[in-house]
Structure 1
């Protein structure tokens, strides 16, 4: 591990403030054993017909029932942050509905005030929405741009904030609402995991998700999409998140660097919790080079974390249990 990342095992002992995090991630490692023992790995070509009405696949139902049917927040009058209205849109693909996207819908997806699932094909049963004829992962920009235009036309007056996520992004919606409660929807800025290269003012890691308010969305669509030289109108093979950073820059919308908690720990993450905790620099050294805030160890996994990326299938159910049930015992 890089020398400039403080160890969380100083003087041969676990520091008190890391005990809770250590216990949580001990359970995450147990997940690997659970997935192997119960053969939860699915074939990438699994048919939607093997699912429960395009719901949790039948062989996973016992796990969902075990960790809780659906998490519902208890509304309290003194928690004004619950008044924040968020529309989330999730970029997905037909082959991912049964093995990945269904787990989004049955965990954090239902906690947004509205969630749109954007796919290559319209599917009234799931449901998913088709916004472009371009297909495949390399065409993310066309999907994202067209979705934002659709949201601007139909939903901008109904919601305060608009979140983009992938189908393997896990979002703690309550934490997101708490974070956004103190922000101003009329300010020309947006939030996500800040990456520094390629775009002068920075760009957001697409997998970690990014969120913008009404003013930023309006500026993006009416200025950036209309006249921005870095906002191509159709398909574009370049990375969607880099294009979003450039397009926002053309629009006059700033990517905020204020996305850490009081301890300097980041809130948006480009990797899963276990990888963020113990970062294999030899494999993902670019992450340190691209990031502007400290990573790993003591700088990982804020209790106020908002998002994690590369969270696959049933792992979302497990994280849901840890974040919304097990942590209540530990805190």
Structure 2
């Protein structure tokens, strides 16, 4: 019986190969089935290599042993209601109390963005760019002296990147890290500082979303990547001038690949930047694609070429995500700025603006029966209240205190 089945299959495939249309159809279906199978054969958490390490407390240890400080609870209402420090800018009043303010002064970040239109530069300057210590825009043909857009004439994408990095270093600006991003990405510098604070920026670090192409591992441009000052110095030794930068790569839109190739030759390679739950910090897709399960097609190279995968869907991204790509309009940049930096739901914490209204006491002249009815009515209404369950948990904003 098995011999007959084998002979039938051989005969079927032989005749199939004679019909080009049938062959193409079956090949397409087979390829699609293999792609779906590959996608579904990930582990139960939907991750190719789910991070299996525990939280290492690197930031807390750095803060305690290096800065002689520790985090403490900060009532988020203090800056908004009680203590404006003589300023009408409430956010500025809050800034001086927070770890974000401390890290801004301690971990210096340059945001480097390549733009195609001045409107993107203006938008980034108005939104997340204000949270970078320094903000630099570069374009291969356009320049605006009234606005910080620098023209960097070049014949290749890597030449533009390389020259821009050298330009920033030659400016003698005070920096520890350079965050390279596209114009349609939204970056959260506070989360970047929190991530890199325990690292020594004087030694080479190359952080981002690692991918492989032509056997070369590099950090994906769309997700953004970060170079430490030590990496820039190593790169300057390999590319000391503009001419050497031009010779470093000839194809456009492959600057990230060329950078990974050259850094690998220097012994500087990408690392796993996911958090302790395996969630991505550097995200090369938009919120729309990341947050909806299955929105990233199984045919996209993300699933095949990424070295360290994070699952898609609501659990896609780290709570301390650094970047998101694919913000296709300037209006959405302003929306994200509001959601990240201004909207304060106060789902926990706060003593001044987050307290529920007191329950009114029954009037003293009520009879015994009326008071009993009022009490039962109050119990019934309290059961219907929708006070957030975490309303009275400790606030999430942190203060910094000096150890004695």
Question: Given the two structures, how large is their TM-score scaled by the length of structure 1?
Answer: 0.70
Kindly report which structure 2 residues correspond to 1:122-201, keeping only aligned pairs within 5 A, or say none: 122-134=143-155, 139-155=156-172, 158-200=174-216
Query: In the alignment, which residue of structure 2 is the partner of 1:240?
Result: 255
Structure exhibiting the larger radius of gyration computed from Cα positions: 2
- The alpha-carbon deviation at position 85 of structure 1 amounts to 0.4
Give a deviation string over 1:139-169, Cα, whole Å, max 9, x none: 422211110111222236x111111111111
Kindly report which structure 2 residues correspond to 1:1-331, keeping only aligned pairs within 5 A, or say none: 2-3=39-40, 4=42, 74-76=95-97, 80-82=102-104, 83-93=106-116, 96-98=117-119, 100-119=120-139, 120-134=141-155, 139-155=156-172, 158-200=174-216, 202-223=217-238, 232-233=247-248, 235-237=250-252, 239-257=254-272, 259-278=273-292, 279-282=294-297, 285-291=300-306, 292-312=308-328, 313-326=330-343, 328-330=345-347
Equivalent pairs, count: 259
- The alpha-carbon deviation at position 115 of structure 1 amounts to 0.5
- The alpha-carbon deviation at position 327 of structure 1 amounts to 6.0
* SS of residue in 2 equivalent to 1:314: helix
* SS of residue in 2 equivalent to 1:280: coil
> Structure 1 299/77 Cα, relative in aligned 2: closer, same or farther at 3 Å?
closer
- The alpha-carbon deviation at position 130 of structure 1 amounts to 0.7
> Structure 1 78/171 Cα, relative in aligned 2: closer, same or farther at 3 Å?
closer
RMSD (Å), alpha carbons: 2.9
Query: In the alignment, which residue of structure 2 is the partner of 1:30?
Result: none
Query: In the alignment, which residue of structure 2 is the partner of 1:13?
Result: none
Query: In the alignment, which residue of structure 1 is the partner of 2:75?
Result: none
- The alpha-carbon deviation at position 231 of structure 1 amounts to 7.9
- Preserved contact between residue 286 and residue 324 of structure 2 (Cα < 8 Å): yes
- Preserved contact between residue 154 and residue 160 of structure 2 (Cα < 8 Å): no
- Preserved contact between residue 158 and residue 246 of structure 2 (Cα < 8 Å): no
* SS of residue in 2 equivalent to 1:297: coil
Query: Structure 2 stretches of 5 or more lacking a match?
Result: 1-35, 47-88, 349-404
- Preserved contact between residue 101 and residue 168 of structure 1 (Cα < 8 Å): no
- The alpha-carbon deviation at position 197 of structure 1 amounts to 2.9
- The alpha-carbon deviation at position 102 of structure 1 amounts to 2.0
Query: In the alignment, which residue of structure 2 is the partner of 1:19?
Result: none
- The alpha-carbon deviation at position 133 of structure 1 amounts to 4.4
- Preserved contact between residue 189 and residue 212 of structure 1 (Cα < 8 Å): yes
Distance 1:117 1:172 in 2: 17
- Preserved contact between residue 112 and residue 136 of structure 2 (Cα < 8 Å): yes
Compare 296-305 and 174-183 and name the one that shifted more. Answer: 296-305
* SS of residue in 2 equivalent to 1:116: strand
- The alpha-carbon deviation at position 81 of structure 1 amounts to 2.6
> Structure 1 165/284 Cα, relative in aligned 2: closer, same or farther at 3 Å?
farther
Question: Given the two structures, how large is their TM-score scaled by the length of structure 2?
Answer: 0.58
Distance 2:265 2:124 in 1: 32
Distance 1:329 1:269 in 2: 27
* SS of residue in 2 equivalent to 1:186: coil
- The alpha-carbon deviation at position 111 of structure 1 amounts to 1.0
- Preserved contact between residue 224 and residue 248 of structure 1 (Cα < 8 Å): no
Distance 1:230 1:254 in 2: 20
* SS of residue in 2 equivalent to 1:256: coil
Compare 216-225 and 112-121 and name the one that shifted more. Answer: 216-225
- Preserved contact between residue 230 and residue 247 of structure 1 (Cα < 8 Å): no
